[in-house]
Structure 1
Amino acid sequence: MLIYRINEEISLKAFGEGDAEEFYHLIIHSKDYLKEWLGWLDSINSPNDTLRNIQAKQKEAAENGGYPISFAIVYKGAIVGTIGFNTISKMNKIGSIGYWLGEEYQGSGIMTLTFEFVIDYGFKMLALHKIEVRVAEKNDKSRSLPKHFGFAEEGRLRQVEWLYDHFTDHIVYGLLAEEWIR
């Protein structure tokens, strides 16, 4: 199992099939909280749903030369969220990062540390030219991450995501490899 240690308490690991149950319970425990910004939660009804998602992530890693593009965020030994590339255009060398944390882990700096690692991983390991982040317009917490790391606000995608009872706009942020100084 591939694991990247961020610090003594936080690591990122490639999802394994054995993570399905724990990941399912994290989603269900934070479902009401996460529904404000994630439109896919009603499709998760059992650990088998998270298992199928994990199997898709494993297939993506195999197709990407063994490099995973999505990770479980592990804090003090427990899965507390996920971060990775929702899409990668190999031809254009552009990746789009997605991320979320369980409700009780918000505000502790976990996402800031893992987000920085994934940017670095995308540019150095995946040889991306550009990394994008697409965030719901009113999701100020998530919008603060790309801003913190120097991403440029590149535009707005109007009514691009259905969130249960309404459409929401996304703000698009981008960072080029030559702009990443770490």
Structure 2
Amino acid sequence: MHLIDTLLRPHCPVLVGDRVLLRLPKREDYEAWARLRGESAAFLKPWEPEWSADELSKHAFVSRLRRYYSDVHSRSGFTFFVFDRIESTLMGGLTLGQIRRGVAQVATLGYWMGERFAGHGLMREAVAEVVRFAFSVENLHRVEAACLPTNRRSIALLARCGFTHEGQLRQYLKIAGHWEDHCLYSLLAEEWPRSGTMDVSRASWEY
């Protein structure tokens, strides 16, 4: 473990569901991350921005960590890695980013899943935990997500998580090297079921 990372790493909640555990990425996650992303490359690339030549290098990973930590320090974004319940296996990642506060109180949701873990409802559980965190802890009012019209898995996931389709955004993001239209989905705080409660002891914040 790098002492500098320990000192700079912001306080971040650990979100725990029935089958998943979500926490802030650490430097020691690099090998598991590179292996999972590498073996899932063909599965992920059609839905993501074009990968750089050093996409899976340790240098690129550390640069990502710096951005993640900066976002958490400023409360402008929170990136979580998705593990199994006992934190032994990395399965994917999820970001609650581009947070705008004040009169907006909105964030954008993004996610990815390793190919061998897709299709088992694990990301649905991870999204539910992060949305709960967004509304119950960060007091946001709206969470948005955008996906390609051809990404049936993502569309089905958002529908199962209670998101509403609002329309289409023209040439919204550059995906795999091309500007692509995206479907816009949203979920409002008042639409989120409040019957469940967060494990405050595991998901508390220290600012």
- Decide whether the 8 Å contact of 1:5 with 1:12 is kept in 2: yes
- Decide whether the 8 Å contact of 1:15 with 1:58 is kept in 2: no
Tell me whether 70-79 or 104-113 shows the greater mean CA deviation.
70-79
Query: When the two structures are superposed, what TM-score results if normalisation uses the length of structure 1?
Result: 0.89
> Which of 13, 36, 41 in structure 1 is aligned with 2:51?
41
Matches within 5 A, 1:5-154: 5-7=16-18, 9-42=19-52, 44-64=55-75, 69-75=78-84, 77-91=88-102, 92-154=104-166
Higher-Rg member (1/2): 2
Query: Counterpart amino acid of 1:25?
Result: R
Cα RMSD (Å) of the superposition? 1.9
Tell me whether 32-41 or 134-143 shows the greater mean CA deviation.
32-41
Tell me whether 121-130 or 51-60 shows the greater mean CA deviation.
51-60
- Decide whether the 8 Å contact of 2:15 with 2:130 is kept in 1: no
**Greater RCO, 1 or 2 (C-alpha within 8 Å, sep 6+):** 2
Provide the C-alpha distance between the structure 2 equivalents of 1:177 and 1:111, rounded to a whole number of angstroms: 20
Query: When the two structures are superposed, what TM-score results if normalisation uses the length of structure 2?
Result: 0.79
Over 4 Å off, 4+ runs: none
- 3-state SS of 2:52 partner: helix
Could you give the per-residue CA deviations for residues 143-172 of structure 1, whole angstroms, max 9, x where no partner exists?
Answer: 112211222211111122223354321100
- Decide whether the 8 Å contact of 1:159 with 1:169 is kept in 2: yes
Runs of 5+ consecutive residues of structure 1 not aligned to the other structure: none
- Matched residues, percent identical? 26
What is the aligned length? 179
2:182 is matched with: 170
Tell me whether 106-115 or 157-166 shows the greater mean CA deviation.
157-166
Runs of 5+ consecutive residues of structure 2 not aligned to the other structure: 1-11, 195-207
Tell me whether 109-118 or 164-173 shows the greater mean CA deviation.
164-173
Could you give the per-residue CA deviations for residues 82-120 of structure 1, whole angstroms, max 9, x where no partner exists?
Answer: 012131112311011000101111111110110111111
Greater percentage in strand: 1
